[in-house]
Amino acid sequence: MKYLSENKNAYIEYEILSTYEAGIELLGSEVKSIMSRGVSLRGVYAVLKNNEVWVINCDISPYQPKNTPQEYNTKRSRKLLLHKSEIKELIGKTKEKGLTLIPLRMYKKGSRVKIEIGLARHRKKWDKREVIRKREMEREIRRETRL
C-alpha cells in the first residue's frame, strides 16, 4: 500500500502497542492537498474529547494558496471517525499511565483518506539507542548479503 504521509519518527520515539484504522473529517480542498502530498504528520498527536477522537497539530497545506479562504487554518483540529466500541476501548487504555495516541500514517483506501493511529508508550533514551542500533545492524547485514 502506498502511504500519503508517514510518521517515521514515531517508531523510534514510541513503542507501538496496538493500531487502529480511522477515517478523518476533511474539507474537499484538504483531500486534494493530501493527494498531492501536502500533509505532514510530524509532531501530530490525538486526544479524546467528549467521547470523540481528535487529531491535533496536523499540518495540511492549502491546495491552491491563492484560492483558499483567509480564515483557513492549516493546523486546525480534525475529528477522527471510529466505531463507538473502539472509542470506549481507547478511553479505557489511555487512562493508563504513560499511554498516548499517535498518528502513524495516512493513506488512501478506495476513495477515502484513512489514518492509522497507534496506542503507544514513550521509550526511554536507552531504548531509542537500542532500536537505532538494531536498525543499523539489519542494514549492514542486508548490505553484506547483496555483495
Digit-coded pLDDT (tens) for 71-118: 777 788 899 999 999 999 988 888 877 888 999 999 999 889 999 999
Sign of CA dihedral 139, 43, 87, 17: positive
Average pLDDT over every residue of 47-67: 85
Average pLDDT over every residue of 27-39: 82
Question: φ, ψ for residue 17 (rounded to 5)?
Answer: -90, -40
pLDDT of residue 107: 92
Rounded CA separation 123/137 (Å): 20
Question: φ, ψ for residue 16 (rounded to 5)?
Answer: -85, 120
Confidence class for position 138, pLDDT limits 50, 70, 90: very high
Looking at the domain that runs over 3-9+17-121, which CATH code has it been given? 2.40.280.10
Rounded CA separation 123/5 (Å): 23
Q: Answer whether 0.85 is exceeded by the pTM.
A: no
